[in-house]
Structure 1
Amino acid sequence: MAKKDRFKEQLRRALRRDLWIVLVPSILLVGAAFAVTLYFIKPAPPKTLVLAAAQDEGGFNYFARRYKDILARHGVTLEIRGTKGSRTSLDLLAQEQSGVDVAFVQSGSSAGSDKGSDTAARIVSLGGLTHIPLWIFYRGEPIDDVRGLGGKRIAVGSIESGTYALALTLLKANGVEKAPTELLSLERDDALARLKRGELDAVFLVAAAEAPFLQKLAAEPGLRLLSFARGEAYVRRYPYLSRLVLPRGVLNLAADVPERDVVLLAPTANLVARDSLHPALAYLLLRAASEVHGGPGLLDRAGEFPTALVADPPLSSEARRYYQSGTPFLQRYLPFWAANLVDRLWLMLVPIIAVLVPLGRAVPALYQWRVRSRIFRWYARLKEIEIQLEESPERSQLEEMLKRLDEAEHAVNHIPIPLAYAENLYFFREHIDIVRRRIVRRLTGSSEAPAVGVSLVI
């Protein structure tokens, strides 16, 4: 009984050893696939996002508060970093250590950033958000173009602002930016106060048509709103501008403000980001943009924004896919955190499954080979005896062969083999009997005719 127990224990140890020899390399291979996947897959999106937005430009501060509320519903905190203008926002976005992830900027403001630097080259666009027209209010006789402002005192916004960049571009294009024209870099409230007091002749403003102060300013006695008679020419020269018509009375129907159709030039408010922005957050921001800017406005049609019609900086790959195919499938039906979790798990499982499927076939075959190899290696000794038998051995050699066969049979009988593979053991014993009978016939001098053509099949 003790001998039987020892055999069972040997069998268990052998099975465990075989399993470990087969499974350990497989586990290491799956682990390597998992590690490689983790290296290439992006980590979970951060819970905090920093957005740079000019406080007095294009309604950016209002948009930022709307975005903050929307992102909060999805568990993401939006920190708003106030700036003096689009140029400053772009510069912060280009600085690796600034902590700014995204920014609202005015189209055409990129001239204020260091476009030659590597960091600026890594800025991408998530699309245009809305028209933010250029409003030029002035005093004096009616004029129909910027060139009529030559020799005037003009407020063109702070140097860091997109308003300043646009005003300087238009004034230089008409050759009226130099003396005697006087350009003043003033904040919006200070400029408007001076204009009302008569200390300025004109002021350049960039703001959404819905801005409350525009209605009051357009109705202010003694002030006129410039209508660009050559609006189409400016649009052809500067592709980031659009020609818009402000309909008569749209600002105030009761007071009929404005009292005539006004042609405006309008850059767009753009959402830009670093190209390292997590794709899940990029899609979340684009969804927020559709919610905030997708409706109709005084100058925007429903569904016109957000739009991909932005070439500088280039459109991000996520934005391109969003404008072509809409919201990713998982984000349409799952909460933001759940969609991101499933998406990351799926990406991790694909390469792992690609390894597991072949292993599912290879491991059982390898284990089977490992178990059978304990018996199969004895066939070499059996074949050696059979070959020697063909060489007309002497009686002593035949007896030695029988002894070697007995030793092989005894050794094989003590090999721990699972019951599922026991048939291999009995096949080997049958082959031993075939060779043994041939040897016995040689010893007894019997004819070997019955055994002619009998050989081992390995």
Structure 2
Amino acid sequence: MKTDTLKDQLRRTLRRDLWLVLGPSIVLAIAAFAVAFYFIKPAPPKTLVVAAAQDEGGFNYFARRYRDILARHGVTLEIRSTQGSLTSLDMLTGDDAKADVAFVQSGSAAGRPQASNLVSLGGLTHIPLWVFYRGEPMEDVRGLRGKRVAVGTLESGTRALALTLLKANAVDQSPTELLSLERDEALARLKQGELDAVFLVASAEAPFVRKLIAQPGIRLLSFARGEAYVRRFPYLSRLVLPRGVLNLEADLPEQDVVLIAPMASLVARDSLHPALAYLLLSAASEVHGGPGILDRLGEFPAALEGEYPLSEEARRYYKSGPPLLQRYLPFWAANLVDRLWLMLVPIIAVLVPLGRAVPAVVLWRIRSRIVRWYARLKEIELQLEENPGREMLEKMLSGLDEAERAVNRIPMPLAYAENLYFFREHIDVVRRRVTRRLAGAPDEGEALTQRVVVS
């Protein structure tokens, strides 16, 4: 029964020691991990919404290409069709924003208050302005005065650019008739002779461009003052469509054509998850990095800010390429490692030192129960140096017996039992000195002194 009691006491003592040591350690580890979690970036959403104009700049085609690429990485890209770049920008702003990213024509937001929560992921490609018209050859939009001109839908970047150019040439007022028409309707009316000119913004690879340039009676405007427009409106570029590039057999166009072109850009909310920003930039390199009729190999995507500042992710991407992890790991794995590497901080800074400190502290607590009794032994040895009387010597023996009994009751794990037996041996050493003093014999120290004197 007594053995069971000692075993129970030993278990309770060990349990108390462990909690006294492990308790603060666990609290410290939890605090370290909590701080690390505070700085860990949340996981990127699995769904991304992109706004793309239906009939402008080939944006809807680009969006479908991006959707296929992101799907390979487990991200769903939802495409929200809009009436134009202005509508797409509106979907990015406000507390109830309905899109995360949008394809936007440069210069579309000219004259509008700039939203502070939007950033650019860079320029994607040139999207030239095509002015198809009927009648005698002309070399500038000034020749459209008094004509019937389709300038694009109300919210489109095409309309914004057309009005800018017409206004700069004072051609936007009566008797010029400006019509806001969908692309297909405008093209049909131009072919039927119901319109004199159509403004369109599209890539040079667009199928309708090849068809229109081959249409009898329809001409393509070559901007003789293209350089002047570029100087006046910095978001435009001057491009040359080479003779025959659209159809070598038919030699279309029949001569070099000077075009002015805004740029397609990818605009995002500044809250876009960094991992998704890098994924979009990688998709942009895949879609727009190749050569085109008007684009050189590797020219796009490019670090061009336009109306909106480049995001930090875009700056790093254009300077150093994709993040290291995304180069060698799948998207989900790279994102997981990128988020969890901060957990190494508490592991290295807290858990590793605790793994060494906890056993040492446990050992110190176990040994401290015995070490404090050494003070009693030292006190008795000092009293022996003062030549105490018999009564004091008997008290010393009683104190030693009491210390031995007390130490024997200390719960001690078997792994540390040697400390208990070492103490008992030291008690016996002091007990023998006290016993010899009681018997009138010199203690070991005095005998050694006598032997030294005799020799």
TM-score (norm 1): 0.87
Alpha-carbon distance in structure 1 between the residues aligned to 2:111 and 2:393: 101
Assess, with a 3 A threshold, how the Cα gap between structure 1 residues 376 and 130 changes in structure 2: closer, same or farther: same
Q: Secondary structure at the match of 1:377?
A: helix
Assess, with a 3 A threshold, how the Cα gap between structure 1 residues 445 and 121 changes in structure 2: closer, same or farther: farther
Residues 181-209 of structure 1: CA deviation (Å, up to 9, x unaligned): 44333222232233334443332211010
- Judge which range, 7-16 or 152-161, deviates more: 7-16
Assess, with a 3 A threshold, how the Cα gap between structure 1 residues 443 and 189 changes in structure 2: closer, same or farther: same
Check the 8 A contact 1:87/1:113 in 2, yes or no: no
Superposition deviation, residue 382 in structure 1:
4.1
Which position in structure 2 is the counterpart of 1:341?
336
Superposition deviation, residue 245 in structure 1:
0.8
Alpha-carbon distance in structure 2 between the residues aligned to 1:173 and 1:381: 104
Q: Secondary structure at the match of 2:92?
A: helix
Assess, with a 3 A threshold, how the Cα gap between structure 1 residues 446 and 235 changes in structure 2: closer, same or farther: farther
Q: Secondary structure at the match of 1:121?
A: coil
Q: Secondary structure at the match of 2:361?
A: helix
Alpha-carbon distance in structure 1 between the residues aligned to 2:357 and 2:334: 34
Alpha-carbon distance in structure 2 between the residues aligned to 1:390 and 1:313: 91
Check the 8 A contact 1:438/1:451 in 2, yes or no: no
Alpha-carbon distance in structure 2 between the residues aligned to 1:146 and 1:326: 42
Assess, with a 3 A threshold, how the Cα gap between structure 1 residues 436 and 138 changes in structure 2: closer, same or farther: same
1:206 to 201, 217, 222: 201
Q: Secondary structure at the match of 1:269?
A: strand
Matched, 1:428 2:423: yes
Alpha-carbon distance in structure 1 between the residues aligned to 2:404 and 2:363: 21
Assess, with a 3 A threshold, how the Cα gap between structure 1 residues 225 and 389 changes in structure 2: closer, same or farther: farther
Number of residue equivalences: 448
Which amino acid counterpart does residue 27 of structure 1 have in structure 2? I
1:320 to 315, 322, 327: 315
Q: Secondary structure at the match of 1:103?
A: strand
Which position in structure 1 is the counterpart of 2:216?
221
Which position in structure 2 is the counterpart of 1:283?
278
Which position in structure 2 is the counterpart of 1:29?
28
Alpha-carbon distance in structure 2 between the residues aligned to 1:451 and 1:223: 130
Q: Secondary structure at the match of 2:210?
A: helix
Which position in structure 2 is the counterpart of 1:192?
187
1:296 to 291, 295, 304: 291
1:419 to 414, 418, 434: 414
Superposition deviation, residue 82 in structure 1:
0.7
Residues 301-331 of structure 1: CA deviation (Å, up to 9, x unaligned): 2222222223432222222222233333333
Alpha-carbon distance in structure 2 between the residues aligned to 1:375 and 1:356: 29
Aligned-pair identity in percent equals 78
Which amino acid counterpart does residue 83 of structure 2 have in structure 1? K
Assess, with a 3 A threshold, how the Cα gap between structure 1 residues 188 and 396 changes in structure 2: closer, same or farther: same
Alpha-carbon distance in structure 2 between the residues aligned to 1:384 and 1:172: 107
Q: Secondary structure at the match of 1:109?
A: coil
Which position in structure 2 is the counterpart of 1:456?
none
Which position in structure 2 is the counterpart of 1:70?
69
Which position in structure 2 is the counterpart of 1:105?
104
Alpha-carbon distance in structure 2 between the residues aligned to 1:351 and 1:313: 39
Please list every run of 5 or more consecutive structure 1 residues that lacks an aligned counterpart in the other structure.
Answer: 454-458
- Judge which range, 54-63 or 146-155, deviates more: 146-155
Matched, 1:235 2:234: no
Which amino acid counterpart does residue 408 of structure 1 have in structure 2? A
Assess, with a 3 A threshold, how the Cα gap between structure 1 residues 444 and 309 changes in structure 2: closer, same or farther: same
Which amino acid counterpart does residue 191 of structure 1 have in structure 2? A
Q: Secondary structure at the match of 1:125?
A: strand
Assess, with a 3 A threshold, how the Cα gap between structure 1 residues 111 and 433 changes in structure 2: closer, same or farther: farther
Residues 61-105 of structure 1: CA deviation (Å, up to 9, x unaligned): 111112222222222222111111111111101133233111111
Matched, 1:245 2:244: no
Q: Secondary structure at the match of 1:93?
A: coil
Which amino acid counterpart does residue 190 of structure 1 have in structure 2? E
Superposition deviation, residue 385 in structure 1:
4.8
Which amino acid counterpart does residue 55 of structure 1 have in structure 2? Q
Matched, 1:7 2:32: no
Which amino acid counterpart does residue 81 of structure 2 have in structure 1? G
Check the 8 A contact 1:112/1:165 in 2, yes or no: no
Check the 8 A contact 2:106/2:306 in 1, yes or no: no
Alpha-carbon distance in structure 1 between the residues aligned to 2:355 and 2:142: 78
Alpha-carbon distance in structure 1 between the residues aligned to 2:443 and 2:166: 117
Matched, 1:18 2:13: no
**Pairing of 1:259-278 with structure 2 (within 5 A):** 259-278=254-273
**Pairing of 1:368-383 with structure 2 (within 5 A):** 368-383=363-378
**Pairing of 1:89-104 with structure 2 (within 5 A):** 89-104=88-103
Q: Secondary structure at the match of 1:136?
A: strand
Superposition deviation, residue 4 in structure 1:
4.1
Assess, with a 3 A threshold, how the Cα gap between structure 1 residues 78 and 438 changes in structure 2: closer, same or farther: same
Q: Secondary structure at the match of 1:42?
A: coil
Superposition deviation, residue 34 in structure 1:
2.7
* Aligned-residue CA RMSD (Å): 2.9
Assess, with a 3 A threshold, how the Cα gap between structure 1 residues 34 and 113 changes in structure 2: closer, same or farther: farther
Which position in structure 1 is the counterpart of 2:39?
40
Check the 8 A contact 1:105/1:270 in 2, yes or no: yes
Assess, with a 3 A threshold, how the Cα gap between structure 1 residues 66 and 430 changes in structure 2: closer, same or farther: same
Assess, with a 3 A threshold, how the Cα gap between structure 1 residues 114 and 408 changes in structure 2: closer, same or farther: farther
Assess, with a 3 A threshold, how the Cα gap between structure 1 residues 128 and 6 changes in structure 2: closer, same or farther: same
Superposition deviation, residue 438 in structure 1:
5.5
Assess, with a 3 A threshold, how the Cα gap between structure 1 residues 147 and 392 changes in structure 2: closer, same or farther: farther
Check the 8 A contact 1:87/1:112 in 2, yes or no: no
Assess, with a 3 A threshold, how the Cα gap between structure 1 residues 166 and 384 changes in structure 2: closer, same or farther: farther
TM-score (norm 2): 0.88
Which amino acid counterpart does residue 322 of structure 2 have in structure 1? T
Which position in structure 2 is the counterpart of 1:60?
59
2:144 to 132, 149, 153: 149
Check the 8 A contact 1:244/1:265 in 2, yes or no: yes
Assess, with a 3 A threshold, how the Cα gap between structure 1 residues 39 and 99 changes in structure 2: closer, same or farther: farther
Which amino acid counterpart does residue 404 of structure 1 have in structure 2? G
Superposition deviation, residue 53 in structure 1:
0.5
